[in-house]
Amino acid sequence: MKEYKEIKVVLVGNPNVGKTSILNHLVKGNLRIGNWPGVTVEKKEGHVFFNGYKITFIDLPGIYTLEEIISEDEKIAFDFIVSRDYDLILNIIETPRIERDLYLTCQLLDIEKPLILVLNMIDEAESYGMEVNVERLSELLNVKVFKTNGRTGEGIKEILPAIVEVYKKNTKPITINYPKEIENKIKEKNTFKWLKLQEIIKENPELYKIIKEKQLSFSKGLTKEVVRKKILYKKTLTETLDSLFLHPLLGIFFFILIMYLFFKISFDFSFPFIDWIDNFLQNFLGPIITKNLENIGAPHFLISFIVGALIGGVGIVLSFVPLIFTMYFLLTLLETSGYLPRVAFLMDSFTHKIGLHGQSVIPLILGFGCNVPAVIATRTFQDTKDKLLVISMIPFISCPARLIVFSFIVSIFFEKPALIIFILYLIGIILSILTSLVLRKTLLEKKLSHFVMDLPPYRIPSLKIVFNITKAYLKDFVYRAGTIIFTVSVVMWLLLNLPFGEENLENTFAGKIGKTLSYIFEPIGLGDWRISTSILSGFLAREAIISNLGVIMTQEKKDTLETNQNLEDRELKAKIKELLTPKQALSFLLFVLIYNSCFATVVIMAKEGNLKFALGFWLYSFILAWLISFINFKLF
């Protein structure tokens, strides 16, 4: 096997300069998305083999400056840059805002590492009447400079040969010449220039202002030297769209419309694939495997385990794939187009009242579609406490799986089902907000930081890049969460089917656990073991609570799907009506609403936060659900 020498390259730049788009073109879709070790900040990286080298690219979180570090993602970028544990810096610049971005470039010069400048979004700069003298910029900084269009990939293919050449020659950029007094002190230090400057500032804080003014004047002078602007008298597309999308009233209207279309497309597109996957596994693959195993004389339990547990577990994991892919494709589309930052801006004044930033709105709204992608959507948050706070709000948002349970039970016991369902949704939202307020004052206490939002111009997204980013998110979900979801689903199947050969579900391990739990549920009116067992088995999927209750009540050991198809709705409803009173039914609904009974959500919370946090919240939701159900059952 051929050995490749590795070149480690870091992509550095301000937020929203198109680093991920450049990375996608460089690695040709070989993109991996995960978290930085020990934290919940998103990490993007990829590699490509070129001219005998393995070039590894690490996309650092956006950072404006190597000073005044505030957020966790900025700290990660800062620590990695100053660690110098890489071979070359690929500094991405948003060309229309070149003067702002060159300030960071000036600081990177003092890191004294090989550096290549990438002037991205050159097409936008030209549309604004900007011209950049690349040759002069390259000459002044002693670096290679490339003009690129991250959306189309124009100019990016020249970067790989340049990386190899700069690495071989170890070509380093110039460093800034500071006043003589500072330069003399620099010569006395034995480290790289940026760190020397920090030591000098620590010894004499008054020199900080002089050093910063020199960096600012250098970046401004550099811009003046290489940039020419033509005066264009025309209203840009961004200004036109912002007059609609950021309008106090029209902005809300368009936001609601876009979110409606988001959910409609997500469900309308993904549900046929989900149904196809379910039918393929249950009605095609399952029967074929069963028949072949029977032909070779395999034991019945083994056949049942392979078809019910293994194939069923795969089915549970795969059932998330179409919805997560569709939602994240649309979400990435909205993000790369420049619309999502405007949602944060539009909602910021409202969310500040409950201790959150405007960016919290999107994950919370996604929760109405599915809690799993909603939790994943928080990985773009800059601050860990903000991220954990929003994650703790999401499980109270009712998803369609809960709606299935609500609709079935409410139609049996209440005359105005729509009103009851609306009240349940409202209770979930209120508990979500109350939880955030309590956590902000206790475990996740933090003064709400105020920052100037960076609103990038609107852009037409590259579908290829959007697809590659979505694919990376999906792979990360399957690898990190799918394996755990599959394992837990197999364990749940075993609980429902052991001891093998037991015809009565009451005597299975799940039934025995349900009976044990019935003592806990007795004070809230749900002491019947059939109810507690159905809630336990519903941990696989909330919507399975009803079908599993049907299996239990008919005392049949059949596949859940088959039972649900064969059991008449009115017969099951009649049995449930005999089992529960309206007050008990409301306790049941409140418990399903509040308790985080979706193990896929628990797994994702552990992955995006941490295991202690996920289990702690799971216990908190159980206690809160029990208390509110108790109040309902005893006092009303």
Query: Does 134 carry a binding-site annotation?
Result: no
17 labeled binding residue:
yes
Higher pLDDT, 565 or 391: 391
- 16 assigned binding-site residue: yes
pLDDT range class, residue 336, cuts 50, 70, 90: confident
Backbone angles phi, psi at 148, to 5 degrees: -135, 160
Confidence tier at 561 by pLDDT (50, 70, 90):
very low
Whether the pTM exceeds 0.75: the reply is no
Pairwise CA distance, residues 368 & 616, whole Å: 23
Segment 510-536 shows an average pLDDT of 85
Residue 491 reports pLDDT greater than 50: yes
Q: Is residue 561 annotated as involved in ligand binding?
A: no
Q: Are 465 and 351 in contact (CB under 8 A)?
A: no
C-alpha Rg value of the chain to the nearest Å = 29
Burial 574-605 (b: 16+ CB within 10 A, else e): eebeebbeeebbbbbbbbbbbbbbbbbbbbbb
Is 393 labeled as ligand-binding? Answer: no
Q: How confident is the model at residue 565 (pLDDT cuts 50, 70, 90)?
A: very low
* DSSP track, 221-268: HHHHHHEEE-------HHHHHHHHHTSTTHHHHHHHHHHHHHHHHHHH
Domain with CATH 3.40.50.300 in the chain: 5-229
Q: Is 554 known to sit in a ligand binding site?
A: no
**Higher pLDDT residue, 161 or 510?**
161
Rounded Cα distance between 286 and 292, Å, is 10
Could you give the angle at the alpha carbon of 155 between the alpha carbons of 143 and 100, nearest 5°? 55
189 is in an annotated binding site: no
- Binding site annotation covers 514? no
* Model pLDDT for residues 245-273, shown as the tens digit of each residue: 888 889 889 988 988 888 788 888 888 88
* CA angle 597–628–418, rounded 5-degree value: 75
Peptide bond into 456 cis (omega under 30): no
Q: Is 251 marked as a binding-site residue?
A: no
CA distance 167 to 137: 20
Is 56 a known ligand-binding residue?
no
Nearest CA to 58 out of 23, 108, 18, 16 is that of 23
Determine if residue 42 is labeled as part of a ligand binding site.
Answer: yes
d(CA 415, CA 545): 22
Q: Are 145 and 162 in contact (CB under 8 A)?
A: no
pLDDT of residue 76: 87
Q: Is 12 flagged in the annotation as binding? A: no
Is 610 among the annotated ligand-binding positions? no
Residue 123 marked ligand-binding: yes
Quickly name the fold that domain 5-229 has: Rossmann fold (3.40.50)
d(CA 41, CA 430) in angstroms, rounded, equals 28
When pLDDT is averaged across residues 477-484 and rounded to a whole number, the result is 71
Whole-number Å distance between alpha carbons of 187 and 196:
9
275 assigned ligand-binding residue: no
pLDDT tens, residue by residue, 195-241: 999 999 888 888 888 999 999 999 999 999 999 987 555 567 788 88
268 known ligand binder? no
Longest distance between any two alpha carbons in the chain, whole Å:
91
Distance in Å from the first CA to the final CA of the chain: 73
Is 59 among the annotated ligand-binding positions?
yes
347 is in an annotated binding site: no
Provide the pLDDT for residue 308. Answer: 77
Instruction: Identify the pLDDT of residue 37.
Output: 60
